[in-house]
Amino acid sequence: MTKRIALAQLTSCWGCDQSLVDLHLGLLTVLPEIEIVFWPAVVDFKLKDLESMPDQSIHIGLVEGSCRTEEDVHLLNVMREKSKTLVAWGVCSCYGGIQGLANQWNLEELVDRKFMKADTVTDPRVPSENVPVFTETVQPNVDIVEFDVLLPGCPPTSKNLLDALTALISGKPFDLPEKSVCDQCSKVKQDKHIKEFHRTHEGHIDPSKCLLDQGYLCLGFATIGLCGAICPNVNTPCKGCFGPVIRVRDHGAKIISALGAVAEMEPDKLRESFPDPIGSFYFTDYAASYLSRIRTETRRKKKK
Amino acid sequence: MFKELYKSRLRCQGVTNGLTAAGQKSASTQKPKTKVEDRFEPRILAFCCNWCSYAGADLAGTSRMQMPPNMRIIRVNCTGRIDPVFVLEALNQGADGVLISGCHPGDCHYTTGNLKMKSRFALLQKMLEEAGIEPERVHLQWASAAEGDVFTQGITSMVERIKALGPNPVKKD
Amino acid sequence: MTGEKTVKISPVTRLEGHGDITIKLGKDGKVKDAQFNITSTRFFEKFLEGRFAEEAPRFAPRICGICPEPHHLASVKAVEDAWGITPPAAAVKVRRLLINAKQLSSHALHFFALAAPDFLVGPFAEPAKRNLVTIVKAMPDVGKMALQMMQFGQELAAAIGGTAIHPVTAIPGGMLNPFSEENRDKFLKQIADIRQWTADTLTLAKKVFDDYWDTITKLGVVQTYYIGTHNNGAHEIYDGSIRVMDPEGSVVADIKPKDYRKCFAEYVPEHSYATHVYYKPVGYPDGVWRAGTLARTNVVDKMATPLAQEAFEEMRNRLGHPIHATFAYHWARIVELVQAMEELEILLKDPQIVSKDIKLSVVEPKKGDGVGCVEAPRGTLIHHYWTDEQGIITKANMIVATNNNVGGIEKTLMEVAKQVFEQRAHQKLKLPKPMIG
């Protein structure tokens, strides 16, 4: 029996969709097993088509992106209602994504910068006709509706998607690995004695050695091993874009915990090395952090 | 209807994912509503290391030193055992302040646990500051087993500092 | 017609991004308003503030997962401009290879997955059938060719950028990773196939254009300004000057990207979260311009490579200059596809492409501001950052391809709405029997 599949896009970059399309010829093996009942990026079904489907009539619903508008929240709720198995597809859906970094500011400040104060704007105003209102903050989708499967990644690789879809289509469970990016990285690792941190543009990275050992902030140790260590393998520090290793509650807290143990330098020097810990330690999952939750709650109280 | 239907009860791949569980937890640990006091009495969580500060606190108690009653102490083997996530969890659950008290540098029972804490604390403070949360809500001090007075003083000034800041806005009222 | 009516299309499909269409019809049946509602935004300009500027090329690709390479490169160029850095020549070649790989895969994707279903399956086919899946099933050879072209571009982009979505290797001062000889040989081996597939795509596309000649020349023909990048008059996507052309076909501005604010202005509409970028000296809405494939082929004098030049001349011979026919965007896309293929071949055969001298050893941040401009598949893309002494971003301004187009899209939408609702033009067009019945 073919499985009915729906793919919905909340606010996002659509890289998850591109990653699925990047199965290329691999798509030919998946396509006969599925019936796509909703996928605006590729197929012409509209929101009302999705809304009019019976509840639980979609076998596998994949939701990418996070809720930046009330329309996103509505689509997310509809997807939950219509889907038997709901998959948080990509890091935005699981943990808020890069746009979660906007939670450092109030919505008013964000809107002001974009529509009122941008350098090239000549007619400042906040659009309000036929556009949905913004959510106050970006929350992980899993805080809004219940999900059955998480598939983090920015985006999940084509292989990750194929693995997950193949498992789910055949009714098997899809488990996240316990591994970290370091476990997948082939570079030679030593005992960590970091005397100084370098910024990525400084000097030359030795391709054979662990990047963290060389003093570059490579976050592989705290990041879930799903990507196959893409970045360190091309001599580029991991930024943690797939989100934390499973069971880690807070990506940034885990990172500073580790840095505190391996950095052999004065605390003040360590602090000066990272003037932007949020941008450095919560690249795509700030919305899921304690800090963001505390700020969100604080703002909500203030509004009351 | 939506609320009931979507009241999230995360079930993912058999294990509870730590990151997403953080949000769930704060919702489930909601305390029953208590009457808001006229005078703000901060609730402060203290992490004390077993070998110095906890003994120091004990000494302060047996010596009948006066200190404000706003502290709840959790004993840890070493400040090096304190994951920054403990501190953030405490703040997220509504603690008005978190005090970390350990051995003086050089006195750590495990040689460098307190120094690791000092490094983590430096980054944690920077992170709180960038997030727009008062870094003063978290404080690190050293107090040996013989320094009941230092411990007392630390708590007293912590309470004063937090009173000046006001309650943690996250606190459930 | 009895009363006022609103036609709503939600969401617009086979589009990358979030949009609705709202068309308001009056009691007399006349089109009162046609809106293209972009329904979300993420505030990148704000949350880039406070970040290390050298990390911006890691943030920027996440603006668009379909064209992350242009964002990666515009971003790194902006930082280099702000810090006064010139990357080694070999690094620039590797970057050109990267952006052309994306151009190839994106144009193939756009033509086959987003546009072709309307032509091959037919504009009035049932929605469930009007998509790439149907093409793959009904025309397996074409489907396979399309997928393989996309695959080639994406795999080449991944070989350079670490991953095609989102690339990671460009850094102020060059590239973090050289392009290996193994990779060069691997992709060079495939270039003959790509050459053939590109030629086949051109043939197929020209047949489609012949079949739909009536539609192309009559539906949605709208006069606007055009904007695109050139290098001494030749078509260029990585680094060049920006030309603005008026609706009559005269070049009215030719500027360095750094001076973009002389020409670029953003109008904020009531009904869209995407601003409408327009030609500043003329004002809004008269100065609305379009960007992307057709705009680029309109503003340049010639293509940069021989086969593309041939295809370009044929298009101009048949449609004139400047071309205002919106459907000709697809034709221009195929012309650019040919150029991307040729550029890739030239670059892959360049011995310098595998050079290890691809990154400066010393790169010093400094206070300043810098503009990085490239041509994304869908139009001119500008990143502008201000950094402090430590090289931390204090402010960011971005003009993305979509915003250069939404004003023009809305103008086209108005025109098409009038043609369809007032003149029933869609019933009068000469349409071929779809290739896929």
Q: Does C258 touch chain A (CB under 8 A)?
A: no
Does A210 map to a domain?
A: yes
How far, in Å, CA of A275 to CA of C50, rounded?
A: 8
Residue C20: its H or E element: strand C19-25
Smallest CA–CA distance, residue A179 to chain B, in Å, is 14
Does the distance separating the beta carbons of C397 and A44 come in below 8 Å? Answer: no
pLDDT at B35: 54
Residues A22-44 have a mean pLDDT of 90
- The three-class DSSP label of residue C137 is helix
pLDDT at B38: 62
pLDDT at A303: 81
Does the distance separating the beta carbons of B22 and A257 come in below 8 Å? Answer: no
Other CB atoms within 10 Å distance of the CB of residue C79: 30
Same domain, A213 and A258: yes
**Residue in chain B nearest A149 by alpha carbon:** B12
Does the distance separating the beta carbons of B116 and A290 come in below 8 Å? Answer: no
pLDDT at B21: 42
Burial grade of C205 (CB within 10 A; 0-12, 13-18, 19 or more): buried
CATH fold label, C44-428: Cytochrome-c3 Hydrogenase; chain B (1.10.645)
Q: Does A271 touch chain C (CB under 8 A)?
A: no
Does the distance separating the beta carbons of C9 and A113 come in below 8 Å? Answer: no
Indicate the residue of A174, A270, A297 with minimum beta-carbon distance to B13. A174
Interface of B with A in 123-142 (CB under 8 A): 123-128, 130-133
Indicate the residue of C50, C66, C148 with minimum beta-carbon distance to A279. C50
Whether the Cβ atoms of residue B20 and residue A150 lie closer than 8 Å to each other = yes
Whether the Cβ atoms of residue B110 and residue B89 lie closer than 8 Å to each other = no
Residues A118-127 have a mean pLDDT of 95
Does A119 map to a domain?
A: no
Spell out which residues of chain A touch residue B131, defining contact as CB-CB under 8 Å.
Answer: 104, 278, 291-292, 294-295
Q: Would you say residue A83 has pLDDT above 50? A: yes
Same domain, A188 and A269: yes
Smallest CA–CA distance, residue A123 to chain B, in Å, is 31
Q: Does C277 touch chain A (CB under 8 A)?
A: yes
Nearest to B140 by CA among A294, C106, A267, C130: A267
Nearest to B141 by CA among B86, B83, B98, B110: B98
How far, in Å, CA of B58 to CA of B55, rounded?
A: 5
Per the document, the length of chain B is: 173
- HSE, side-chain direction, 13 A CA sphere, residue B75: 10
Residues A44-65 have a mean pLDDT of 96
How far, in Å, CA of A279 to CA of A104, rounded?
A: 10
| Domain ranges for chain B | 44-165
Does A205 map to a domain?
A: yes
Same domain, A185 and A81: no
Q: Does B112 touch chain A (CB under 8 A)?
A: no
Q: Does C435 touch chain A (CB under 8 A)?
A: no
Spell out which residues of chain A touch residue B96, defining contact as CB-CB under 8 Å.
Answer: none
How high is the mean pLDDT of chain A?
Answer: 95
Q: Which CATH architecture is the domain B44-165 placed in?
A: 3-Layer(aba) Sandwich (3.40)
Q: Would you say residue A112 has pLDDT above 70? A: yes
pLDDT at B30: 46
- Eight-state DSSP code of residue C180: P
Q: Would you say residue B24 has pLDDT above 70? A: no
Does A121 map to a domain?
A: no
Does A29 map to a domain?
A: yes
Same domain, A15 and A69: yes
Spell out which residues of chain C touch residue A16, defining contact as CB-CB under 8 Å.
Answer: 65
- Those chains having 3 or more beta-carbon pairs within 8 angstroms of chain B are A
How far, in Å, CA of B114 to CA of A255, rounded?
A: 18
Number of domains in chain A: 2
Residue C266: its H or E element: strand C264-267
Nearest to C114 by CA among A64, A44, A32, A8: A44
Same domain, A53 and A200: no
Could you report the per-residue pLDDT of A203-217, keeping only the tens digit for each?
Answer: 999 999 999 999 999
Does the distance separating the beta carbons of A248 and B22 come in below 8 Å? Answer: no
Same domain, A48 and A91: yes
Radius of gyration over alpha carbons of chain C, in Å?
Answer: 22
Interface of A with C in 4-33 (CB under 8 A): 9, 11-19, 21-22, 24-25, 27-28, 31
Spell out which residues of chain A touch residue C136, defining contact as CB-CB under 8 Å.
Answer: 27-28, 31
Q: Which of A197, A249, A302, A304 to mutate to test the interface with B (most CBs of B within 10 A)?
A: A249
Helices B113-131 & A251-262, crossing angle to 10 degrees?
140
User: What strand order describes the sheet that includes B138-142?
Assistant: B71-76, B44-49, B97-102, B138-142
Could you report the per-residue pLDDT of A178-194, keeping only the tens digit for each?
Answer: 999 999 999 999 988 99
The confidence band for B1, taking pLDDT boundaries of 50, 70 and 90, is very low
pLDDT at B15: 37
Buried b (16+ CB within 10 A) or exposed e, C6-29: eeeebbbbbebbbbbbbbbbeeee
pLDDT at C2: 63
Interstrand relation of C264-267 and C19-25 (parallel, antiparallel or unpaired):
unpaired
For chain B, what percent of residues have pLDDT higher than 70?
77
Per the document, the length of chain C is: 437
**In angstroms, what CA-CA distances link C229 with A69, A280, B126, C288, C299?**
35, 34, 43, 17, 8
Q: Would you say residue B9 has pLDDT above 80? A: no
ipTM of the complex: 0.97
Q: Would you say residue A144 has pLDDT above 70? A: yes
The residue type at C293: T
Query: SS3 breakdown of chain C: % helix, strand, coil, rounded to 5?
Result: 50, 20, 30
pLDDT at B26: 43
Indicate the residue of C18, C38, C65 with minimum beta-carbon distance to A16. C65
Smallest CA–CA distance, residue A277 to chain B, in Å, is 6
Smallest CA–CA distance, residue A193 to chain C, in Å, is 24
Does the distance separating the beta carbons of C271 and A121 come in below 8 Å? Answer: no
Could you report the per-residue pLDDT of A70-81, keeping only the tens digit for each?
Answer: 999 999 999 999
- The three-class DSSP label of residue A190 is coil
Does the distance separating the beta carbons of B170 and A144 come in below 8 Å? Answer: no
Spell out which residues of chain A touch residue C122, defining contact as CB-CB under 8 Å.
Answer: none
How far, in Å, CA of A303 to CA of C205, rounded?
A: 56
Per the document, the length of chain A is: 304
Indicate the residue of C13, C55, C268 with minimum beta-carbon distance to A43. C13
Q: Would you say residue B173 has pLDDT above 70? A: no
How far, in Å, CA of A181 to CA of A228, rounded?
A: 7
Question: Which residues form the domain of A87?
Answer: 3-100+129-169
Interface of B with A in 34-93 (CB under 8 A): 83-85, 88-89, 91-92
The confidence band for A125, taking pLDDT boundaries of 50, 70 and 90, is very high
pLDDT at C17: 80
Could you report the per-residue pLDDT of A261-283, keeping only the tens digit for each?
Answer: 999 999 999 999 999 999 999 99
Same domain, A163 and A212: no
- Eight-state DSSP code of residue A199: -
Spell out which residues of chain C touch residue A30, defining contact as CB-CB under 8 Å.
Answer: none
Q: Would you say residue B28 has pLDDT above 70? A: no
Whether the Cβ atoms of residue C178 and residue C354 lie closer than 8 Å to each other = yes
Q: Does C423 touch chain A (CB under 8 A)?
A: no
Same domain, A86 and A230: no
Indicate the residue of B6, B11, B92 with minimum beta-carbon distance to A80. B6
What sign does the dihedral C317-C321-C327-C333 (CA atoms) show?
A: positive
Q: Which of A86, A294, A296, A298 to mutate to test the interface with B (most CBs of B within 10 A)?
A: A294
Residues (pLDDT < 50) of chain C are 1
The residue type at B105: P
pLDDT at B34: 52
Interface of C with A in 123-162 (CB under 8 A): 127-128, 130-133, 136-137, 144, 147-148, 150-151, 154, 161-162
> Which residues belong to CATH 1.10.645.10 in chain C?
44-428
Spell out which residues of chain A touch residue C396, defining contact as CB-CB under 8 Å.
Answer: none
For residue A269, give every residue at least 6 positions away whose Cβ sits within 8 Å of its Cβ, in sequence order, or none: none
Q: Would you say residue A128 has pLDDT above 80? A: yes
